[in-house]
Structures are given as C-alpha cells and as structure tokens.
A and B are shown apart, each in its own frame.
Chain A
Amino acid sequence: MLTVGTGNKAIASAVRDAKPAVVAAYPITPQTEIVEEIANYVSTGALKSRYIPVESEHSSMAACLGAAATGVRTFTATSSHGLVYMCEMLHMVAGARLPIVMANANRSIGPGWNINAEHTDSLSMRDTGWLQCYVASAQEAYDTTLMAFRIAEHNDVLLPVMVNLDGFLLTHSIQPLRTVEVGDFLPPISLPHAIDMDNPGGYGTLTTGDVHFKFRWDMERAMRDSVHVIEETQKAFAEAFGREYGMTEDYRTEDAEVIIIALGTMGKEMEVAVDQLRDEGVKAGSMRIRWLRPFPVLDLAGRDVVVIDRDYSFGYGGIVAGEIRAKTGTEVFSVIAGIGGQEVTYNDIATFVRDRRPGGELWFGVEDS
C-alpha cells in the first residue's frame, strides 16, 4: 500500500504487519508515536495483540522477556534513557536467546536534557549480544523491522534485534512509504526452547566457571551465523518485495580513493557530499554501515577513510572509528559530528573529506580539537 509516514509510523506499521502476540510499551520522546500508533492498531483491531502499558523501560524489556519465553513474537520500542535504563535486561534477553525485536530512536543521553539525534545510546549497548541495524529512511525502517523478526527467529540466530533510527531526523520525518502483504515472508515463530509444560526445566539457573563460557560461545557462534541469515533474508526480501539491502549501503565506492563512513541519516546525506566532491575531481565514495552487530566486513584497503561518529567513548574516541580501526587496521580520519543533534550538512561532510588527516581526530565545532 502506498502512503506517507514518519520513521515512527513506518516502524509501527511494520509491527502491525508482523503481528506480534505481545507488545510492551513505555513512552519516551522521540519514540512516542510508535507506542501510540500500536495502541491505536490494537484498539481498532488492526493488530490483534496484548498491549502492556508498563511502568518503566526496565519493565518493558522484562515484560518482553516473559512473553517471549512462552514462545510468542514480541516487540517494544525505546530511546536513549529508556534504552540504558533497561541495560540489564538487554543482556538478559540476549543471554536467554529470545528473538525480541526492538526499535530504538537514537537520542542523546542527559544531562543536559537534549532530545536530539545521537548514537551513543545504542552504541554503548553494543556489547549486549543484540544484533544492531541502523536505518536511514522510513521505507528502510519498515522493511528492516519486518526482516528483523525473521532474522531474530531463525534457528541459527535466536538473538534479539535492535532497529535504530535517528531521533527527530528520521522518527519525525514524513516520507513516502510502501507497506507490503507479508504473507510467507514471515513464517510463524517457533521457539525451540519455549516454556514447555510437558518438558519442564529451569531457565537461567546457576552456572559455574566451567560451563558459563560455553553459553557465551553459543551466542557468539549465533552472531557469526547471523551474517548468512541476514544476507539470505535480505535476498528473500528483494525477491518478494523488490527492494534490496546489504550489510552496508555503498555509493560510488568502486574506484573511490577516499571513503566516508557513517550511520543513520548522515549516512544518506553524505552521498550528496560524495557527488559534490566528485564534481570537484575528488574520487569520493561512501559506505553507510547498516548492520553494526554483527560487525561487517569492510573493504577499505588502499583508500583514505573518513569516519563520522555521531557518538563518543570518552577517553578513547569515536566508537565506530575505533571499531573500524581495530577490525581493518586502517588509519582512519575520525570526525565527531552530530552529537546532541548538532547540524551537519553535506557541505560540512565535504569539508571533512577535503581537510582529512589520516590518523587524526576532529571534533566538529570545537576550535582546537
């Protein structure tokens, strides 16, 4: 169906079409439209689901855990403070191997109270065992949320998936949206370790040092296997619905001498900078990282790399830049830009490329950084 919708509306529509049995909901700006839309769908019968209006985010993930443990499909959404408030539960549901899907509206964490786009929230949760995808359009938000359920619930994965979208920049941006008839693309969930009254057992009991690491290794193996599941799911999506997605979205990278890397909406806007630079004779290209967990294989050999981090790890550096450096050995030029919704235009991005210093770091807007 052809319509328009915000990034939030796109997520809510996908949830409606994925038909989770239980949705736990707690409002937080700028995600509120997601939980409100879903409340409407449940109220009108467009979605037959149990809607639990919990009292906090720790509880929304706990409620999802309880529901998912019975073997049903579940969903929740949050942002920044809510995400880090449920941190303990993020670890728990990944360790419990529950295929929960959650949308996170990327927003800065206080103090001060800044409610604008920033990636530190989800990036600071990258060690929890959740798969993480970053989307850059309402259409991609819709498509990825549908795919997320299939990926999470795959027997080779059985890990929760976080779909991240930029607060306000995407959550509130009204864009064209095409919804689909999901049909067989999303088979019913079949959780192998769902609570089974005929086969009772204890979940999450005590584990000793000679056993616990094996459970964690199982999670890592699932993360590694998730790469082929993601690729296969994205391929099946393209076949069914005509829209293609990769682990990254690459733009004019084939003969590029300098590559810009970013997540989210900046990762779309940087393409305009690429075009501008190309017109100037600079062989620029861009890679928008979609899947951050599992970390993608990046072909950066022989190119200059400019990484824009809309986040920071204090005392260390830009988180994405750090991961790329560690995984590829590349001397990236790290730019910190967009923190707290700081305006970053394609002109600014083109300037980062022109002024790049491999191995250096620039805090956009700070004189002597």
Chain B
Amino acid sequence: MIEIRLHSRGGQGGVTAAKMLAYAAFLDGKEATATPMYGAERRGAAVVSYIRIDENPIRVYSQVRNPDLVIVLDRSVMETVNVLDGIKPDGKVLINSATPLELEGHETFNIDLTAIALSLEMKLAGNPILNTSLLGALAKYGLVSRESVRKVIAETFKDERNVTAAMQAFEELKI
C-alpha cells in the first residue's frame, strides 16, 4: 500500500486532485481511497488530503501518519505546517515549485505546476488550476498510468487544456 499526504490551500483544487488520483488508480485496477481533512474550511486555509493506493481493498480509515509520498501543492503552507511530519525514512516529496527545493534526507521532486497552468491561462477565481497538471506529474512519478489520468481528466473537465496541462507536466517531471 502506498500512503500519500497532499498539502494545499483551500480553493486550489487539492481535494479534487485527491479524488482524481483515487479514480485514476481505480481505473488502473487498483483500490484507492482519498480523504480530505476538514478543519475550519475556508478559502486560503492550509488543508490536507490523504490518499491510499493498494492492490487489495483498503480497510484503514485512520489518518496517514507515515506517508510514502508527500505532495506540496503550495509551498507557502510549509511556513506553518511541517509537511515532513512522520514521513517514512525512504519517503519522497513532490513539490510545486518554481525554484528547485531540496528537503533534508528525502528525495525531492520539483515541478513548476503553476507555470504550466499560467502558460495555458488556466485559472479559477484568480487561482491557477494546479490539480490537473499535478495528475500528469503523478503519472510520471508512477502512481497511476498516463492513460487513466487522461481519461479521468477528460471525464471531469470539459476544457481540453486540462489534459494538455497534465501531459505537459508528465513530460516535464524529471524522475
């Protein structure tokens, strides 16, 4: 089982990203659950989603304490949240970042999802749409197949730029 923790801010589509990731895993023939953690839910607040992907049905409902992968959609949450909390010793990190960031002791993958979104002029309520490009990056990372990502995005969004953004992120992420 792979356990993932996704850090974002309310309004950035982090919850939708978690949902799409679970769906893509499901289309790949795997089992998956995604649970957003709700605190004081409002625009701009730091939020966390947990995703689990496994071959077998997932029976765990408690929080992901020891993630194999930490995803940071908005670097600014790191100012107030310890995103590495509990991460497995060999756990990895994927960060949406314009400038490469290396985190102590953990292999870090940087990708500028914001730039991809802005290059395609993809914005919602003033925020760049990051979740679809994130899916592409996660396919490159190897969590889900590229085909399933394409399918899920096409099903979820009418605007074709979302698939473009995902495929662009897939190409750009260096593994």
Chains A, B in direct contact (C-beta < 8 Å): yes
Using a CB–CB distance below 8 Å, which chain A residues touch chain B?
2-4, 30, 166, 168-170, 172-176, 265-266, 268-269, 271-272, 343-346
- Which chain A positions have C-beta within 8 A of B4? none
- Which chain A positions have C-beta within 8 A of B65? 345
- Supposing A169-B35, A174-B34, A176-B26 touch, asked if A4 and B19 sit within 8 A by C-beta, the answer is yes
- Which chain B positions have C-beta within 8 A of A345? 60, 62, 65
- Which chain A positions have C-beta within 8 A of B8? none
- Which chain A positions have C-beta within 8 A of B19? 4, 174
* Distance to closest chain A CB from B149 (angstroms): 14
* Distance to closest chain A CB from B60 (angstroms): 6
Interface size in chain B (residues, C-beta < 8 A): 20
> Does B18 touch A at the CB level, under 8 Å?
yes
Q: A4-B32, A173-B34 are in contact. List 11 more A-B contacts (CB 8 A).
A: A2-B27, A169-B35, A169-B61, A174-B35, A175-B33, A176-B22, A269-B59, A269-B62, A343-B62, A344-B62, A345-B60
Partner of A4, one of B22, B36, B58: B22
- Which chain B positions have C-beta within 8 A of A3? 23
* Distance to closest chain A CB from B171 (angstroms): 26
> Does B127 touch A at the CB level, under 8 Å?
no
Q: Are B61 and A170 in contact (CB under 8 A)?
A: yes
- Supposing A4-B19, A4-B22, A4-B26 touch, asked if A172 and B36 sit within 8 A by C-beta, the answer is yes
> Does B63 touch A at the CB level, under 8 Å?
yes
Q: Are A265 and B61 in contact (CB under 8 A)?
A: yes
- Supposing A172-B36, A173-B34 touch, asked if A346 and B18 sit within 8 A by C-beta, the answer is no
CA A265 to CA B59, docked complex, whole Å: 8
- Which chain A positions have C-beta within 8 A of B35? 168-169, 172-174
- Which chain B positions have C-beta within 8 A of A2? 26-27
Instruction: List 15 A–B pairs whose Cβ atoms lie within 8 Å, in order of A's numbering.
Output: A4-B23, A4-B26, A30-B38, A168-B38, A172-B35, A174-B18, A174-B19, A174-B33, A175-B33, A175-B58, A266-B61, A269-B61, A343-B63, A344-B62, A345-B60
Q: Mark B1-40, 1 if CB is under 8 A from A, else 0.
A: 0000000000000000011001100110001111110100
- Which chain A positions have C-beta within 8 A of B26? 2, 4, 176
CA A133 to CA B38, docked complex, whole Å: 26
CA A272 to CA B23, docked complex, whole Å: 24
* Distance to closest chain B CB from A362 (angstroms): 18
CA A4 to CA B18, docked complex, whole Å: 11
- Which chain A positions have C-beta within 8 A of B22? 4, 174-176
Q: Which residue of A lies closest to B27 (CB)?
A: A2
* Distance to closest chain A CB from B138 (angstroms): 15
* Distance to closest chain A CB from B98 (angstroms): 30
CA A312 to CA B118, docked complex, whole Å: 53
Q: Mark B64-81, 1 if CB is under 8 A from A, else 0.
A: 010000000000000000
- Which chain A positions have C-beta within 8 A of B18? 174
- Which chain B positions have C-beta within 8 A of A268? 59, 61
Residue picked from B18, B26, B61, B63, most chain A C-beta under 10 Å: B61
CA A269 to CA B36, docked complex, whole Å: 18
* Distance to closest chain B CB from A33 (angstroms): 12
CA A170 to CA B26, docked complex, whole Å: 18
Q: Are A173 and B59 in contact (CB under 8 A)?
A: no
CA A130 to CA B31, docked complex, whole Å: 34
CA A345 to CA B62, docked complex, whole Å: 6
CA A266 to CA B27, docked complex, whole Å: 27
CA A16 to CA B35, docked complex, whole Å: 24
CA A268 to CA B59, docked complex, whole Å: 5
CA A310 to CA B27, docked complex, whole Å: 34
Partner of A346, one of B32, B33, B60: B60
Residue picked from B27, B35, B36, B65, most chain A C-beta under 10 Å: B35
Q: Are A346 and B62 in contact (CB under 8 A)?
A: yes
CA A170 to CA B34, docked complex, whole Å: 10
Q: Which residue of A lies closest to B59 (CB)?
A: A268
Q: Are A176 and B31 in contact (CB under 8 A)?
A: yes
